[in-house]
Structure 1
Amino acid sequence: MSTHHHRTHFFRSSKFSFKHLTSTEGLATLTINRMISVLGWSLIGLFYPIFIYEYFHQSLVIVLLYFAITFAVRIPLFWVGAKIFSRIGLVASMIIGEIGATFALFAFYALETGIFSIPPSAFLLFAIIGFAIDSMFYWSPFHVDFIKMSTKGKLGRQISVRYAIQSVISVLAPLISGWIILHHGYEFNFLFGVLITITSIIPLLFLKNTFVQYEFGFWETFQKMFESKFRSMSISMMAYGAESVVGTVIWPLFLFIIFQGDYLNIGSFAAVIIVMSLLLELFIGKETDKFSAVKMLKIGTGVYALGWIGKAIVDTVVGVFAASTFHSIGSILLRTPMDTLMYEQAADCGHYIDEYTTLREIALTIGRAGMMFFLIALTYWFSISSAFLVAAVISIFVLRIARQSFSPVEG
């Protein structure tokens, strides 16, 4: 059973420490941290797979292997991170995670500029380590704090507001990063990402450093994933991770090929799609609170799967635009209810809230790594767009499992 201890605040002696933030103020502060991080990553995210693709001389197999390794090495580290954040607190853990993300982006900056006389492969290793630190220390504590600070009955709206703000940030970021890369190269893009990401630590200094106790052992953690309490959630999150990674890794590469390496057009295209889906984000969150999130999830999964199929069969800019717009609608219909259900179930776990969120992150990462390994074989025989058909099938599978997984978990 996870217990919460009243220990000395990690920054209690600092002039930045606010002891009496309300839940609403705390949630706003946590959201500011997330938005700054999103801004830093949005300058990089769309072009990150493209950078790796170009670095490895447009070898898709090596790129997929790189991402497969990047995800796979994180899987056992989530348990280590959970044990450490049990001792140092959630806020302190998130700060370490942000430092890890900054370190990873700096590694890419150093790789691109050659400012250090060490083998380039070392920088890729440093980046993998940095992203692993970010994953193992940031995400589970973030989810726990977000759940504790959110308002019951308004989760869908609060999540959709967060995503809407992220979308606003993400509108300009691809345009800016595309222009920067076109005129100044990747190094300036990575440098801006480093500077912005490190500032995301500042809002965390205002949050109370709460403590939880992660109780599962290493092997027990993986056994628990497939016990009746967590099995359906774990399987659905594996499928969700496998499907979503196609959008974050394969889709940017597909755009790079369609737009023949024109960075500015790639960024502009991504920005337009985000604008068209922005207002819908808030509407979906509001409706999620009014109606059954499972029903919204069912509708979203169908639209989302059709969007993947559309992406698989188009090969022109106009076709890609139409398919992307349709797919973005499905993404919103799927993502907001999915996260709402996840947070509600995590809250219902009571004392096992940190265990739940850690198992969720492990399952997502297993799905992502597994999909990358699978696509290595698939793209050897078929084109890159075949990955979208696989994602369509998996998204339907997510719905079937989600019906079982989002039921109360006894704590």
Structure 2
Amino acid sequence: MLSIDNRPSFSHTHRFSFGHAAALPTLALNRLLAYAASSIIGLFLPIFLFDFFHRSFQAVLLFYLVDQLLKLPFYVPGAKIFSKIGLKKSMMIGVLGLSVFYFMFFLLGQNTPVSPFILMGIGLVALMFTSTLYWSPFHIDFAEFSSKEKRGRQISALFVLQHIIGVIGPIVSGALIVLYGYSATFALGFFLVLCSLLPLYFLPAKSVQYEFGYWQSFRELFSKRFRPMSISMMAFGAENTIGILVWPIFLYMLFEGDYLNIGFFSAFIIITTLLFQIFIGKETDKVSAKRMLHIGTGLYALGWVWKGLVQTVTGVFAASTFHSFGSIFLQTPMDALTYEQAADAGHYIDEYTVLREMSLNIGRIFIIIFLLVLNIYLPITVSFFVAAAISLVINRLADTVRT
């Protein structure tokens, strides 16, 4: 059951009143500041670990496997916690967890006398709080604060702003690494994450009541009601992990360790797709999101295949540009459908979002284990073809949508 305090209350405030609408840009500002941090660190974190572990891709995979395995048991306890303390406080704790993660890696880059594995362990525990206490409340709030009629455009607007930030982030990060080392990027990320706390203070204090039990939550993942969403999100989590882990390391090897060129390359890809994102957002509100999702998954899968076939910088740039177009066709309608289904879940909106996060996590665990085995026998580029096949499964999200 959803409830909000008197700043204002949903029970007395129309869904599209000014008080209600003001919460969405506030929530978006929090996300954009945190995204600024991740745009600076996200691309280079797998590369940092790749270097730290003496270019062992297996070790990088094991790090992320520990990260995902640590999170899985705590999604339901996390839901019980944010049911008691409220969504706003829960998100604040999650943001603090991310800041601790970045600070631990800042210390790691400083060569402190503390064991690097202790620093990594503390960082991963802190990141577990972020995953279990931030993301579900964020999605609940976004589903509630966004307009059903304009959700595609609202999501697209958020993505456009993220793309603008994403143009600057990799370049800044590459320059900082070249000039000052990795510690400078982690320090900047730490600062930006702390800044993202401020908008959360102005959000209306809303609470939910998570009603599924611990083992019931795992059973519900494959119930008739939630199965299409769960399978789709598992596929998305698996595919997205390849993009987050494998692609940056592939670029690192392609550019022979030139951090600045990696940053510029990533920025150029974002520039080529920025305006296209606005168009897709508008079309999502006009055309069936289900139909657009089917088109997007096909284009996105072809982009992964193309990435797996090229080995030159020019070829990778062309493939990446096409893949980014496919990503927009996929991501915008997928998120619109997800938030629509979450909002339509009504009383079970919190259960829906928690199961979504659990599904993403399970997909990541399975693909990392698969990559650990695959990498023993085949080069990492083979994973791009695996991502192409997996991305087609995301269509399952549309199975619960009436045509």
- TM-score scaled by structure 1? 0.94
Report whether the alignment pairs 1:65 with 2:84. no
- Number of the residue aligned with 2:344: 348
- Number of the residue aligned with 2:384: 388
Contact 1:236 1:405 in 2 (8 A): no
- Number of the residue aligned with 1:310: 306
Contact 1:231 1:405 in 2 (8 A): no
Equivalent position to 2:81, from 81, 84, 89: 84
- TM-score scaled by structure 2? 0.96
Take 1:266 and 1:5, find their aligned partners in 2: how far apart are those partners? 46
Equivalent position to 1:24, from 16, 21, 25: 21
Take 1:73 and 1:381, find their aligned partners in 2: how far apart are those partners? 27
Equivalent position to 1:153, from 149, 156, 166: 149
Equivalent position to 2:281, from 269, 278, 285: 285
The Cα RMSD (Å) is 1.4
- Number of the residue aligned with 2:13: none
Equivalent position to 1:359, from 355, 358, 362: 355
Contact 1:43 1:177 in 2 (8 A): yes
- Number of the residue aligned with 1:75: 72
What letter matches 1:260 in structure 2? Answer: E
Take 1:133 and 1:250, find their aligned partners in 2: how far apart are those partners? 25
Take 1:177 and 1:340, find their aligned partners in 2: how far apart are those partners? 31
- Return the offset for 1:114: 2.8
Take 1:69 and 1:58, find their aligned partners in 2: how far apart are those partners? 18
Work out the percentage of aligned pairs sharing the same amino acid.
Answer: 47
Take 2:233 and 2:138, find their aligned partners in 1: how far apart are those partners? 17
What letter matches 1:35 in structure 2? Answer: L
- Number of the residue aligned with 1:56: 53
- Number of the residue aligned with 1:402: 397
Deviation digits for residues 211-251 of structure 1, max 9, x if unmatched? 10001111010011111111111111101110111111110
- Return the offset for 1:89: 0.4
Equivalent position to 1:187, from 183, 187, 195: 183
- Return the offset for 1:403: 3.3
Stretches of structure 2 lacking an aligned partner (at least 5 in a row): 8-16
- Return the offset for 1:8: 8.5
User: Does the residue aligned with 1:102 lie in a helix, a strand or coil?
Assistant: helix
Take 1:202 and 1:163, find their aligned partners in 2: how far apart are those partners? 21
- Number of the residue aligned with 1:15: none
Alignment of 1:236-315 (within 5 A): 236-315=232-311
Contact 1:342 1:406 in 2 (8 A): no
Stretches of structure 1 lacking an aligned partner (at least 5 in a row): 10-19
- Number of the residue aligned with 1:202: 198
Contact 2:79 2:132 in 1 (8 A): yes
What letter matches 2:2 in structure 1? Answer: H
- Return the offset for 1:4: 2.8
Q: Which runs of 4+ in 1 moved over 3 A?
A: 5-9, 405-408
- Number of the residue aligned with 2:2: 4
- Number of the residue aligned with 1:100: 97
What letter matches 2:389 in structure 1? Answer: V
What letter matches 1:353 in structure 2? Answer: I
Deviation digits for residues 130-181 of structure 1, max 9, x if unmatched? 2111110110000111111111211100000001100000101100100000
Contact 2:236 2:363 in 1 (8 A): yes
- Return the offset for 1:25: 1.1
Take 1:40 and 1:393, find their aligned partners in 2: how far apart are those partners? 31
Deviation digits for residues 20-60 of structure 1, max 9, x if unmatched? 97122110111001000001111100001001111100001
Contact 2:83 2:209 in 1 (8 A): yes
Contact 1:214 1:355 in 2 (8 A): yes
Alignment of 1:327-338 (within 5 A): 327-338=323-334
Take 1:168 and 1:22, find their aligned partners in 2: how far apart are those partners? 28
Deviation digits for residues 349-389 of structure 1, max 9, x if unmatched? 11000000000000001101111111000111111100100
